[in-house]
Amino acid sequence: MTALAVTSPPSSAAARATHFKLDNGMQVVVIPDRRAPVVTHMVWYRVGAADEPPGVSGIAHFLEHLMFKGTETIAPGEFSKIVARNGGQDNAFTSHDMTAYFQRVAKDRLPKMMQMEADRMVNLTLDEKDVATERNVVLEERRTRVDNDPSTILGEQLTAAFYQSHPYGTPIIGWEHEIRVLDREAALRFYERFYAPNNAILVVAGDVEPDEVKALAKKTYGKLKPNPEIAERRRPQEPPRRAPVRVKLEDPRAGKPTFQRLYMAPAYSNAEPGEAEALDLLMKIAASGTTSRLYRSLVVEQKKASTTGGWYSGSNLDSGRIAVYAIAAEGVPMAELEDGIEAVLAKVREEGVTQRELDRARNAYIADYTYGLDSQTRLARRYGWALTTGRTVEDIEAWPERLEKVTVEDIKRVAEKYLVEKKSATGILLPLDDKAKKATNENAKRES
């Protein structure tokens, strides 16, 4: 029940999935995983925060919460309790491009989960009082996760300034003033418009046969009527980048100065062939983890930062982005930190990366791809995420092969093309506001 920022789960899988469609348009993916008699059952809706009408930000995530209320046959709040009584765990999340619900249960409980999930796809009942209570839960979630954390506030402000037209600039959890007016009617309107079998993907991973899942799916989801109003998703697209943006947040609660940067980039769904794969590798080499260029240079060698990081988020429907962040080391001013980051990125842009770095990054992804198979949830998630962001089962399964084809030249090319100031937005978090700074300086002067 969380509002997730767009992240980039590396997508790969050795296990070959079976996929088919029900007559009502619902897509089904079955992924074999026979190590234990458990299954992961997920329903992914092709609707997320970026599909919200203007002015009702947060409704996708709010509805996700409300889906745990009741239906005609399940009492309010009972859904998760039933899953737990059946020895399972359940959860849900909302992102800009999708909303997903999932349970992990013993394989013999799969029919029950499918029946319950199919039920709440169309039979949700909402009570005015429950809606009001849940709205307070979401407002509290926002206070805790966003408003109490200056670096999350900065991320929210930076993202809002970064996107000029696309709703990716609106926070998934919603703007507070808009969450406050979300109501039962708005939730039901959104539910009726977007929750339907022909806007959903069923993903089942585990110790099950595709035929078994098909038969069960037909008996449960297969009975639901499609919504003829489900159309291709079209969200406002970004105009071309013309000018870099900077956002400065001063917050007395902030610790050390923090740097955040975004660069606009294509997504897997619309990049030139090989570009998204090269971007994944580029950012692994440049910024991800303690062996990255950024960390080694700024944390280990120059001691300008206490930590750094970065990644490419390519698994979105409409556009991808590159993120880089760093926290200044004690006493290092922001300008020095920023110059240091810029120097590392400029070197990658101008000189590219080495074959050894590329091989190591690629091997890390291949390892990740293998480990990924160990987690049934991650495996199932990989397919659901890809299918709600314009990719196919074949795309996902061919990912390791396409990764193999990336050369050091490809990496230099995408670095030159996308790590450029014009496509960027930079966020700066400083511990004190100007007034407080002045006061502090004046105190310091008086004391000296």
Positions that interact with a copy of itself (CB under 8 A): 54-55, 57, 153-154, 157, 160-161, 164-165, 167, 169-170, 175-178, 234-237, 239-240, 242-250, 421-422, 427, 433-434
Report the residue number, 83 or 425, with the smaller CB distance to a copy of itself. 425
Q: Catalytic residue among 52, 64, 357, 397, which? A: 64
Least gap, CB of 265 to a copy of itself (angstroms): 17
- Give the torsion through C-alpha atoms of 40, 95, 419, 413, to 10 deg: 50
Among 154, 167, 142, residue whose Cα is nearest residue 62:
142
CA atoms 53, 54, 60, 65: torsion sign: negative
Token look-up 């009617």 returns 185
Determine if residue 343 is left, alpha or beta; phi over 0 gives left, psi from -120 to 50 gives alpha, anything else beta: alpha
Which is closer to a copy of itself, CB of 88 or CB of 266?
266
Closer of 54 and 331 to a copy of itself (Cβ): 54
- CA 85 vs CA 81, 105, 113: distances in Å: 6, 10, 12
> Which residue, 98 or 425, has its beta carbon nearer to a copy of itself?
425
Instruction: Using the structure block, give the residue that is written with the tokens 């990719």.
Output: 391
330 catalytically annotated: no
For the bound state, the minimum distance from the C-beta of residue 145 to a copy of itself, rounded and expressed in Å, comes to 15
How many Å apart are CA 427 and CA 246, to the nearest integer?
6
CB of 262 to a copy of itself, least distance (A): 13
- CA angle (106, 69, 50) in 5-degree steps: 95
10 SS3 class = coil
Q: Minimum Å distance from CB 194 to a copy of itself?
A: 16
The nearer residue to a copy of itself, 172 or 358, going by C-beta atoms, is 172
Residue for token pair 């093309």: 417
Q: How far apart are CA 17 and CA 445, in angstroms?
A: 68
Q: How far apart are CA 302 and CA 296, in angstroms?
A: 8
Closest contact distance (angstroms) between CB of 236 and a copy of itself is: 4
Summary count for the chain: helices (H), strands (E): 17, 14
Give the residue numbers annotated as catalytic, written as ranges: 64
